[in-house]
Amino acid sequence: MKALVYGGPGTKAWKDVPDPGIVEPTDAVVRIDTTTICGTDLHILKGDVPAVEPGRILGHEGVGTVTEVGSSVSGIRAGDRVIISCIKSCGHCVNCRKGLFSHCLGDEGQVGTGWILGHLIDGTQAEFVRVPYADNSLHKLPHGVSDDQAVMLSDILPTAFEIGVLDGRVAPGDIIAVVGAGPIGLAVMSTAGLCGASTIIAIDPNESRLERASDFGATHTVNPESPDWISDVLALTDGAGVDVAMEAVGLPETFEMALRLVRPGGNVANIGVHGKPVELPLQDLWIRNINISMGLVNTNTTPMLLRLVAQHKLSAEKFATHHFPLDRIMDAYDTFSRAAETEALKVVLSRNPHD
């Protein structure tokens, strides 16, 4: 089969590799019908995730058709159309029983690490993929949910909802600020209303993304390149600061912005993947009673989010801005890596792409 293979920082190639097969009785092999590129893939290519070794097939998001299952798989069968979760779950370890799938203690990939596809084992940017713990790591798709919708449930929507909205403790009536109106930030805006956020402030220097933000749930937009940007945000909070500030970029500067915006007793939710250290000025923060959260998605909300998508309560398809055939993945990476120029949100790669 063909797959996108990581060759070390700055290097990748679409080339022939061996087909995957069943290794453990809990495995399934899935034909990739649709996949996409994540900002984390760009971090890998920059060398920010050193655990990814040269030779690894990238990708951790996908929708496909099951072609083969192991002898212990009971809830999935060949022919099923499924979402491939970005996080493994053995389903029986102490962490999985708590819903902490991100730290699954199953042996596959690495004990205690849930994100393994495209990280510690071969991933979804390929024609086929082996998925461990298939009964818990795959989600069968109902009729009427498109690939464009479903692939957003592999990672981006549960990540935004769990690490941003839930961990940020968004409550009914809250005023929230989302620093970064890229795909993850927009996914936060799309799901914050599920917990009752009343005011959603999108903060981004890219005017095109700010214009889009209202389509994803933002009630106000602020450009941080304006000299009065902090005053503009505080004016929406009667000067108190926002209830929840979310960092959705992964830069020291944007994390600092979130710290500056939150009110005393508020919450800062870090969602972005950081490739370098961030200063935490505890000498100033301790007295403000601020809660700071961060983490890797568990994907335990995926079934609920899938029901909302199926009932047209959550418009997941709006994230799919560009479509490519799977074999043009190098072009897709180029488009996604220049998102500020190309206005790409999620670049979707399909076996049978849109015209």
Shared domain for 101 and 164, answered yes or no, is: no
Per the domain annotation, does 319 fall within a domain? yes
How much of the chain exceeds pLDDT 70, in percent? 99
Over the stretch 37-48, which tens digit does the pLDDT of each residue have? 999 999 899 998
Shared domain for 280 and 338, answered yes or no, is: no
Cβ count within 10 A of residue 107: 11
At 148, is the secondary structure helix, strand, or coil? helix
pLDDT for residue 284 is more than 90? yes
Shared domain for 287 and 187, answered yes or no, is: yes
Instruction: Provide the pairing of β-strand 11-16 with 291-294.
Output: unpaired
Per the domain annotation, does 43 fall within a domain? yes
- Global pTM value: 0.95
Over the stretch 330-343, which tens digit does the pLDDT of each residue have? 999 999 999 989 99
Shared domain for 145 and 235, answered yes or no, is: no
Mean pLDDT of 302-327: 97
- Residues facing residue 222 across a β-bridge: 203
Over the stretch 188-224, which tens digit does the pLDDT of each residue have? 999 999 999 999 999 999 999 999 999 999 999 999 9
Shared domain for 217 and 97, answered yes or no, is: no
Per the domain annotation, does 133 fall within a domain? yes
pLDDT for residue 328 is more than 80? yes
Cβ count within 10 A of residue 135: 17
Over the stretch 110-133, which tens digit does the pLDDT of each residue have? 899 999 999 999 999 999 999 999
Structure tokens at 350: 């399909």
* Alpha-helical regions (H) of 251-328: 252-261, 282-285, 302-310
- Spatial separation of the C-alpha atoms in residues 186 and 189, rounded to whole Å: 5
Q: Provide the pLDDT for residue 73.
A: 98
- Of 294, 318, 341, the position where a domain reaches its end is 294
Shared domain for 150 and 6, answered yes or no, is: yes
Instruction: Calculate the CA dihedral of residues 64, 65, 68, 72 and round it to 10 degrees.
Output: 80
Shared domain for 26 and 111, answered yes or no, is: yes
- Spatial separation of the C-alpha atoms in residues 94 and 273, rounded to whole Å: 26
Shared domain for 11 and 144, answered yes or no, is: yes
Per the domain annotation, does 355 fall within a domain? no
Per the domain annotation, does 95 fall within a domain? yes
CATH number at residue 275: 3.40.50.720
Over the stretch 15-30, which tens digit does the pLDDT of each residue have? 999 999 999 999 999 9
Per the domain annotation, does 127 fall within a domain? yes
Q: Provide the pLDDT for residue 355.
A: 43
- Of 247, 275, 294, the position where a domain reaches its end is 294
- Residues facing residue 221 across a β-bridge: 202
Confidence of residue 78 (pLDDT cuts 50, 70, 90): very high
Structure tokens at 2: 């063909």
Shared domain for 322 and 219, answered yes or no, is: no
Over the stretch 102-112, which tens digit does the pLDDT of each residue have? 999 999 988 99
Cβ count within 10 A of residue 7: 13
How many helices (H) and strands (E) the chain has is answered by 13, 15
Structure tokens at 231: 């005053």
Which residue, chain included where needed, has tokens 């994540």?
A: 38
Q: Provide the pLDDT for residue 354.
A: 57
CATH number at residue 117: 3.90.180.10
Domain range holding 273?
157-294
Shared domain for 116 and 86, answered yes or no, is: yes
Mean pLDDT rounded to a whole number for the chain: 96
The number of folded domains in the chain is 2
Over the stretch 252-261, which tens digit does the pLDDT of each residue have? 999 999 999 9
Q: At what angle do helices 329-337 and 39-46 cross, to 10 degrees?
A: 90
Per the domain annotation, does 322 fall within a domain? yes
Q: Provide the pLDDT for residue 76.
A: 97
Q: Provide the pLDDT for residue 48.
A: 85
Shared domain for 117 and 203, answered yes or no, is: no
CA angle, corner 116, sides to 8 and 338, nearest 5?
Answer: 50
Residue 253 exposed, middle or buried by CB count within 10 Å (0-12, 13-18, 19+): exposed
Shared domain for 226 and 92, answered yes or no, is: no
Instruction: Provide the pairing of β-strand 242-247 with 175-179.
Output: parallel
pLDDT for residue 165 is more than 90? yes
- Spatial separation of the C-alpha atoms in residues 88 and 280, rounded to whole Å: 31
At 5, is the secondary structure helix, strand, or coil? strand
Structure tokens at 165: 């909205």
At 144, is the secondary structure helix, strand, or coil? coil
Cβ count within 10 A of residue 161: 25
End-to-end alpha carbon distance in the chain: 24
- Spatial separation of the C-alpha atoms in residues 47 and 326, rounded to whole Å: 24
